[in-house]
Amino acid sequence: MQDYIDFAAKNGVLLLKSGACQFCGANTKRGIHECLEIFNFGFGEIDFSKKENHMYKFLMVDAHTLQHPEIHGRWNNHFHLSRLHLILKHDVKWSYRHSPMLSNYLKVYKIDKQNEYLIPPEVLKRGTITTTDILKNTKNASDRKALIFEWATEVHRTWHSSHHVAETIAKEFLNRNKSLNELI
C-alpha cells in the first residue's frame, strides 16, 4: 500500500527516510516506512483467524491509524476514533460486520459536517507505546494482546479533545442500530 505516500504529500508532510518514526516515535531505523512494515506484518504470535482475537486487530488498526493521521484521509479519524470509543467506552463487542455499518452511518453523518475536522494531538504526543514496543517488548500472544489493548487505550486518551465528537457519533450509531440488539 503506497497510498500513504500520496496522503502524506496531499497533507504537505515530508516522509523522513531514516531514524525513529516521525509520527509515533517508534524506535525504527527507517522511520514511518519501517513502522508501517511492522504494523502490516501484524506483530506475529497472535492468530487473527480466531474470532476471539479479532478485537485486537481492530484495536491495533485504530491505534496505528490515529497515531499516524497524516498518512490517511481526514474521515479516517472519525471512523477509527469512533470505533475505538465504541469498543473502549461503550463496551461494544466489535466484529467485522460492524465496520461497514459504522462506515455507512458516517456517510450520513458527514453530509452536514463537511467543515468538521478532528485535530490530532501533536506528533510524538499520541501515546508512548508504539509498534516497536509491541514487536520487541512482548514474548508471546498473551503479552502482545495485553500491550495492544494498552496501546489503543493510550492513543484513545491522547485524542481527548475529540472525544465529544466520538461520543456523539457512538451514541447515534448505537441508537440507530439498537433494534439489531447485537452490538453490546
> What residues make contact with Zn ion under the rule CB under 5 A?
21, 23-24, 26, 35
Q: Are 19 and 29 in contact (CB under 8 A)?
A: yes
Angle between helices 74-88 and 141-158 (to 10 degrees): 120
CA distance 70 to 141: 30
Complex with Zn ion: residue 102 or 120, whichever CB lies closer: 120
Give the residue at shortest CB distance from Zn ion. Answer: 21
Complex with Zn ion: residue 24 or 129, whichever CB lies closer: 24
Q: Tell me the closest approach of the beta carbon of residue 141 to Zn ion, in angstroms.
A: 22
Q: Are 165 and 77 in contact (CB under 8 A)?
A: no
Q: Tell me the closest approach of the beta carbon of residue 105 to Zn ion, in angstroms.
A: 29
Complex with Zn ion: residue 73 or 180, whichever CB lies closer: 73
Show Cβ contacts of residue 139 under 8 Å, excluding neighbours closer than 6 positions.
none
Q: Tell me the closest approach of the beta carbon of residue 120 to Zn ion, in angstroms.
A: 13
Q: Are 72 and 7 in contact (CB under 8 A)?
A: yes
Show Cβ contacts of residue 18 under 8 Å, excluding neighbours closer than 6 positions.
29, 30, 31
Q: Tell me the closest approach of the beta carbon of residue 19 to Zn ion, in angstroms.
A: 11
Complex with Zn ion: residue 39 or 56, whichever CB lies closer: 39
